[in-house]
Structure 1
Amino acid sequence: MLAHPSLRSPSFITILGAGLMGRLLAVALARQGHKVEVHEAGSRDGATSAAHVAAAMVAPLAESIVAEPGVVRMGQHSLARWPGLLAQLVQPVYFQHNGTLIVWHRQDAPEAARLRQKFEQTQGAVPQLPHMQPLDAAALAEREPALAGRFSQGLYLPGEGQLDNRQLLDALAATMDALGVATHWHSARAPQDFAPGAAGQPDWLLDCRGLGAREQWQDLRGVRGEVVRLHAPDVTLQRPTRLVHPRYSIYLAPKEDHRFVIGATEIESEDLSPASVRSTLELLSAAYAVHPGFAEARITELTTQCRPTLPDNLPAIRMPRERVLQVNGLYRHGFMIAPAMLDVVMQLLGEGQSALAPDFELALQGGAATAA
């Protein structure tokens, strides 16, 4: 538990960072009638944030390969929360709730068996997850006609979803404007610039700057990802599809108008230089291996970004001093866990504790320690 004064209404709240978490919190707090201001080092479009590059999949079982059970539970919670959160925004946001498909070539069958075993373990630890469905060639063709005849078997993970990350960032910014949130773009600020609770200062300070908060989170690191965006009019995949790969599972996330986000690379590096030839070839080869229609696709973007990651790869919320909350470490799971993190933070601000945090195995600590 984090002992602190309860949030009074209306309060004056300053948020540092307008990535995904910062924008969600700004909208939620402004809706409660609080005076909210946001300082963001980058621009309104969020182009320098990890959220701008992400595929924005909400796939708790699929991500359980690299996620702890608590994070999986956060993903399941967020699946139920996203439709309601999106309905409150002033602009529409594409949200698909059509499950995840996993396919593999014959030579990768041993790796696919390992994945299936891991999914079974996750379903034992998180029984509320919909159970995966093994598919033979006929069932696969019925579920995803675009892949008929291309794979002899696969796995279907019901209930998983995705959204359009850039539509969401834009809709959140527009909703912040409509709610009267004072936004300061290209305004890099740090916690030491404020004295929450003092006269003329905000009542609360929320720090959601991701890698921008490295000075406050000394163990924070960036994990590089490389993403290709394609326009493929000849491809009609109906849901995110993952191709089992010897080193990592490559995903293809279909957005509106036959646009696809393809990624998977996860490199322990904070290098933000352009994508490597090797990674680009692997991503494009995987896309073509899933569907030959990608051969005539147009590459609309090739992007890199680093995700803010703590040593245990888990998210953390802490209170280094009274009236200051820090949120960080969402790693590769930002869109999957952001609504759950939002609900925990709102409970902490309103009640001084969170009933959700134990189920998410989310440690809430004061002082300089990170969440365990």
Structure 2
Amino acid sequence: MAADIGIAGAGLLGRLLAWTLARAGHRVEVFDPAPGPAPAFDGQGAAAFSAAGMLCPLAEREHAPPEVVALGWRALPRWRALVEQLGAPRPRFSQQGSLLLAHRGDLGSAQRALARIDPPEAPAGSPRPQRLTAAELAALEPSLAPVAAAWLLPEEGLIDPLATLAALQARAPGVAWHWGRPVRQVEPGCLHFDDGPRRYATVFDVRGLGARPPAEGRAVADWPGRLRGVRGETVWLQAPGHGLQRPLRLLHPRHRVYLVPRGPDGLLLGATEIESEDRSPVSLKSAVELMSAAHSVMPGLAEARILRLDRNLRPALPDHRPRIEAEPGRVRINGLFRHGWLMAPALVDDALAAWAGMPEPEEMA
């Protein structure tokens, strides 16, 4: 039965929910404080625009909770199907595996990381890192320089965040998008705005850090009040004919530097997390460290052009696990940390399943 749905937040989860619910025949309205659907790259908008789009659940075993890894494996086939359903022109989706690389001075760090990624208790038959010889690495990725050690993580993938976000918003049938409309509060069946409330059969709160109450009224026991921002920094490079096909991580004692292809002429370079809520521009130190690390494994980047230095905050809960809370009239999803693209379709599936199991409001009387 069709329902009137209100969604607070037009980031990755908001667009996935709107696209899925509209295709199921529901009447959907989405509200977001951004002035429009395109990214501003000012450190203030949806974190999904700044993400690399790495779909690497095996690599995430190093630090992520097991349930996050499981959500990542569930999400991979969902991403493949969703990209097909979006139609042409399709956002880029690739599943050729990813690479872990280490220089000689970082082999100790690499072995510790591999011990967490491939523990003895790993499920039988699950993908495992494959050690590559220098010749095998050169055959897979000719543009990379020789390194002390390299591993292929099979079945992992990547997706183009910008193209996917644009397609989800533009191709969601019949969705009403309201830009420049921040939601101040989300209650069961109601979204509150500066000019008053609007009522729906069900509302979805996927505002990320925007779901935090004002500092003066923040309740420590309420889980949105325990959200914190984790800074991520990226360098967007133009490198025509770079040749890289797979996302890679460079193992390092202090950072996990990643390099991700964005089509034949673009690359995105970043570091996974910085414990800070600073939204100011990228520092010289961060930029130099990131670019030096990338150049050490891909010498051809010496002539790459810097298109953008970007930063944003990802919403995280203390345990670094996502949380879904469903009650009659309201569903909240938050705490995706740096795993948003990794697990978003699986989280949406779980949230909609929880919503479908909720009693109607009249049944609660």
TM exceeding 0.5:
yes
Letter in 2 for 1:17: G
Once residues 86 and 144 of structure 1 are traced to their aligned partners in structure 2, the CA distance between those partners, rounded to angstroms, is 25
- In structure 2, the partner of 1:108 is 106
User: Which structure features the higher share of strand residues?
Assistant: 2
Identity over the aligned pairs, expressed in percent? 44
Contact kept? 1:191, 1:205, Cα under 8 Å:
no
- Aligned counterpart for 2:248 among listed residues 226, 241, 249: 241
Change (3 A) 1:305 1:127: farther
Change (3 A) 1:126 1:12: farther
Letter in 1 for 2:288: L
- In structure 2, the partner of 1:183 is 177
After TM superposition, the structure 1 = structure 2 runs for residues 82-161 of structure 1, keeping only pairs within 5 Å, are: 82-90=79-87, 91-121=89-119, 124-127=121-124, 129-147=126-144, 150-161=146-157
- Aligned counterpart for 2:262 among listed residues 255, 264, 279: 255
Change (3 A) 1:200 1:166: closer
1:316 maps to 2:314: no
Which deviates more from structure 2 when the two are superposed, residues 334-343 or residues 152-161?
A: 152-161
Q: Note the C-alpha offset of 1:337.
A: 0.5
Change (3 A) 1:207 1:200: closer
Q: Note the C-alpha offset of 1:200.
A: 7.7
1:25 maps to 2:17: yes
- Aligned counterpart for 2:37 among listed residues 15, 22, 44: 44
Change (3 A) 1:105 1:191: same
- In structure 2, the partner of 1:330 is 336
Q: For structure 1, list consecutive stretches of 5 or more residues without a partner in the other structure.
A: 1-8, 354-372
Change (3 A) 1:341 1:157: same
Corresponding pairs, count: 339
- Aligned counterpart for 1:72 among listed residues 69, 73, 77: 69
Q: Note the C-alpha offset of 1:162.
A: 0.5
Contact kept? 1:19, 1:46, Cα under 8 Å:
no
Letter in 2 for 1:157: L
TM-score (norm 1): 0.87
- Residues 294-340 of structure 1: CA deviation (Å, up to 9, x unaligned): 11000001001000111111100113x53111100000000000011
Which deviates more from structure 2 when the two are superposed, residues 186-195 or residues 55-64?
A: 186-195
Once residues 328 and 114 of structure 1 are traced to their aligned partners in structure 2, the CA distance between those partners, rounded to angstroms, is 30
Once residues 334 and 258 of structure 1 are traced to their aligned partners in structure 2, the CA distance between those partners, rounded to angstroms, is 25
After TM superposition, the structure 1 = structure 2 runs for residues 190-339 of structure 1, keeping only pairs within 5 Å, are: 190-192=184-186, 195-196=189-190, 201-215=199-213, 217-233=224-240, 235-319=242-326, 322-339=328-345
Q: Note the C-alpha offset of 1:246.
A: 1.8
Letter in 2 for 1:338: A
Q: Note the C-alpha offset of 1:119.
A: 1.3
- Residues 26-65 of structure 1: CA deviation (Å, up to 9, x unaligned): 1111111011100011121144110000001100011222
Which deviates more from structure 2 when the two are superposed, residues 208-217 or residues 164-173?
A: 208-217
Q: For structure 2, list consecutive stretches of 5 or more residues without a partner in the other structure.
A: 192-196, 214-221, 360-365
Provide the alpha-carbon RMSD of the alignment: 2.0
- Residues 159-183 of structure 1: CA deviation (Å, up to 9, x unaligned): 100111000110011112xx10011
TM-score (norm 2): 0.88
- Residues 143-164 of structure 1: CA deviation (Å, up to 9, x unaligned): 222226x224311001100111
Once residues 126 and 17 of structure 2 are traced to their aligned partners in structure 1, the CA distance between those partners, rounded to angstroms, is 27
Contact kept? 1:265, 1:279, Cα under 8 Å:
no
Contact kept? 2:104, 2:149, Cα under 8 Å:
no
- In structure 1, the partner of 2:3 is 11
